[in-house]
Copies of this chain bind each other. A is one copy, B any other.
Amino acid sequence: MINGRFATAIHILTLLGREEGDVASSYIAGSININPVLVRKEISVLRDAGFVATQEGKNGGSRLAVQPSKIRLSDLYRIIYRDGLFTHSKNLPNQHCAVGRRIGTIMDDLNIEAEQALLKRLHAITIQDLLDKV
């Protein structure tokens, strides 16, 4: 399932897209209304992906490392969701049952198809598009 991290990442990037200089994690956290440590953690993921650059130390903070129009939500989705859309319980289904034996593969296939449809749509939306709505 799609959790709060996706929304958090979008909020961060949209906010950075509107600000000029370096933005402190505490300021971002104040806008989202979550804990600054969570913001820094998410930013570290976004930084690893090359979307954000960070300046440490006094007056430091983060800013976009690429143009907002270059950040597609599909990329964002992929970065944040390694686990897939459909989270199946970690309980192993009964392998003595035909359905139980095959359901894992069936759900995996389904997950791929659903994600493809979702990603296709998200591919067409960039942070710039969201900025235009603010």
**Dominant SS among interface residues on chain A:** helix
Q: Are A14 and B103 in contact (CB under 8 A)?
A: yes
A45 interface residue per 8 A CB criterion = no
Q: Which of A8, A10, A18, A120 has the most CB of B within 10 A?
A: A10
CA distance A49 to B15 in the complex (A): 42
Count copies of this chain in the complex.
2
Q: Are B133 and A34 in contact (CB under 8 A)?
A: no
Closest to A133 in B: B106
A-B contact pairs, 22 of them (CB 8 A): A2-B2, A2-B87, A4-B88, A4-B89, A7-B86, A11-B100, A11-B103, A14-B99, A18-B98, A18-B99, A30-B94, A31-B100, A32-B89, A32-B103, A34-B89, A34-B91, A105-B133, A109-B133, A116-B121, A117-B117, A117-B118, A117-B121
Q: Chain A interface (Cβ within 8 Å of chain B)?
A: 1-4, 6-8, 10-11, 14-15, 18, 30-34, 73, 85-89, 91-94, 97-100, 102-103, 105-107, 109-110, 113-114, 116-118, 120-122, 125, 130, 133-134
